[in-house]
Structure 1
């Protein structure tokens, strides 16, 4: 449990964090594709970049939701030492 009170309205902080990491991954990929297109030449169309960016964002969000509890437990364990 994340300690989030169940009686209040809103999104769970871990879900919000995973969503935001997914958004960061999505936007970062699009920035990299755009930068490459400005320097060299476009390697994908806009639709292809959006589709691959969505997959990157989904992977980043899922990775964040799976790894965050492990990293939090590891950080708490280090504080005990």
Structure 2
């Protein structure tokens, strides 16, 4: 056991990475909506913005979990320059 809290909760590094990418995706979307709202009329209500932000976060989590091994394998097979 390495002493990290994620190990105690049973999260492997791949799952932890995917969840963190999901959080980044969700927060990035919410920041973009808020920035747009500062300059133009709000495109979404607060509730819809949160719902879409959560959907973006879930999509980013799933995408990161599925694509991470493929990208890592592709990077490992790449010849060095």
TM-score range relative to shorter protein: 0.7 to 0.9
Partner residue in 2 for 1:50: 50
Aligned residue-pair number: 74
CA–CA distance in 2 between the matches of 1:22 and 1:54? 9
CA–CA distance in 1 between the matches of 2:8 and 2:79? 32
CA–CA distance in 1 between the matches of 2:37 and 2:8? 43
Partner residue in 2 for 1:4: none
CA–CA distance in 2 between the matches of 1:44 and 1:23? 20
Partner residue in 2 for 1:32: 32
CA–CA distance in 1 between the matches of 2:65 and 2:44? 29
Unaligned runs of 5+ in 1: 1-7
Distance 1:38 1:80, change over 3 A: closer
Partner residue in 1 for 2:3: none
Unaligned runs of 5+ in 2: 1-6
Q: TM-score, normalised by structure 1?
A: 0.84
Q: CA RMSD in A?
A: 1.7
CA–CA distance in 2 between the matches of 1:57 and 1:67? 15
Compute the displacement of 1:9 (Å): 3.1
3-state SS of 2:8 partner: coil
